[in-house]
Amino acid sequence: MSATSSGMTPAPAPVRRPFPVRTTVLVGVVVLLLALVPWTFGAFTVATFTRALVFAVLAMSVNLLTGVAGMPTLGQAAYFGVGAYTGALVAIHWSDLGVLQLVLATLAGVVAALVTGPLAIRGRGVAFLMITLAIGEIGFSAAGRLDSVTGGTDGLSGIPPVVAVPGTEGLVNEGLIYYYVLVVAVVAYLAVAMLLRSPFGLTLRGLRDNEGRLRAVGYRTDSYALAAYVYAGGLAALAGSLWASSQRFVAPGDLGFEVSALALLAVIVGGVGSMWGACLGALVVVFTQDYLGQLFSGHAPLLLGLLFVLAVYLLPKGIAGGRSQWRRLFPRERSQEDDEAVTPV
């Protein structure tokens, strides 16, 4: 028999829940801190934060599939790319209005995921991973070959500055671009948070936990797997559009295997299944790559590999994976009472 005593106190049935004050305050404080970034750091650091935020949105997309619905993916860069190119093309040929680029890019990602999704969801687990990997590779080589649309390996440059509010100037200032990305990222975060609490969010967790039982109570599970895929595709494409607006340059390298892999790394470092974990993981990955990578010039991949190993060994459940593993790392006197004896490392 297991010795855990978690089941000793019967949980009261909280049918009526108060407004989540703590979460709201926490999110508010974090957003406030993020809003102070342009006032605190130099242009280079602000640009890194911008990239980290874009990457956080991509990581949320990966986490929605991998952590929430239980479908580990290595192909989200493809939909990120669809969004980036769509956003860029809309900006170059049609309108520099941000909202329009975001909406059309997201729609393009949704359509791309709808078309490719049925193929991907034929498998689960490793099979799904392999199919998404192939989709990612196809996206990468397509971006390099469709010269007339994507500019081939040269990429798409000449993207005009994005206009956040109709009638105002395009954003060229690094700080303002950062704010544009921050606002969209926060909206995306809140939308995902709402999704996770919704009936559909519960359905996705059911899909992860026990697809067979879900079927047995009347769910056509393939539909929900596809729906998860489509939501995630749209979210990745949204991130792609932010990428195009903030970098003002899109090239095939932006949707390479590495991007998908780093996004998955961010999710693992942050804590599979947790959205704020994924965002924090994205921050850690991007800053590791940019700062430490520069410090030890050219060794960024090695550092990221190290980060991965450290995460898996020291924080197997990720940054957001609960207090017990942190306590194990930094033991305090009173930690004995609620932790089972763990051999100190």
Partner 1 sequence: MTSATPALRVEGLSRHFGSLKAVDEVSFEVAPGSRHAVIGPNGAGKSTLFALVAGALPATSGSVWLHGDDVTLLTEHGRARRGLVRTFQHSSLFLTATARENVLLALQRRHGVQARPWGAVRRRRALLEEADAVLERLFLHHRAGQAAGALSHGERRQLEVAVALATSPSVLLLDEPAAGMSPADTQAFREIVLGLPSKVTVLLVEHDLDLVFGVADRVTVMQLGRHLLTGDPDEVRASDAVQKAYLGAEDTSELFVDEEGA
| Chain positions contacting partner 1, by CB under 8 A | 4, 6-7, 10-17, 194-195, 197-203, 205-206, 208-210, 212-221, 223-224, 227, 231
Give the HSE-up count for residue 63: Cα atoms under 13 Å, Cβ half-sphere.
31
Count CB neighbours of 29 within 10 A.
10
3-state SS class at 168: coil
Q: How far is the CB of 181 from partner 1 (least distance, A)?
A: 24
Q: In what helix (H) or strand (E) does residue 165 lie, and over which residues does it extend?
A: none
| Nearest residue (CB) to partner 1, 2 versus 148 | 2
Q: How far is the CB of 304 from partner 1 (least distance, A)?
A: 29
| Nearest residue (CB) to partner 1, 15 versus 32 | 15
From CA 218, how far away is CA 199, in angstroms rounded? 15
Rounded to 5°, the CA angle 287-250-66 comes to 55
Rounded to 5°, the CA angle 134-137-143 comes to 140
Kindly report the three-state secondary structure assignment for every residue of 84-135: HHHHHHHHHHCCCEHHHHHHHHHHHHHHHHHHHHHHHCCCCCHHHHHHHHHH
| Nearest residue (CB) to partner 1, 70 versus 87 | 70
Q: How far is the CB of 151 from partner 1 (least distance, A)?
A: 35
| Nearest residue (CB) to partner 1, 23 versus 173 | 23
| Nearest residue (CB) to partner 1, 169 versus 339 | 339
Structure tokens belonging to residue 310: 């450290």
- Given the structure tokens 């599939």, which residue do they identify? 65
Q: How far is the CB of 65 from partner 1 (least distance, A)?
A: 15
Per the CB < 8 A criterion, the answer to whether 239 and 57 are in contact is yes
Q: How far is the CB of 218 from partner 1 (least distance, A)?
A: 4
| Nearest residue (CB) to partner 1, 15 versus 126 | 15
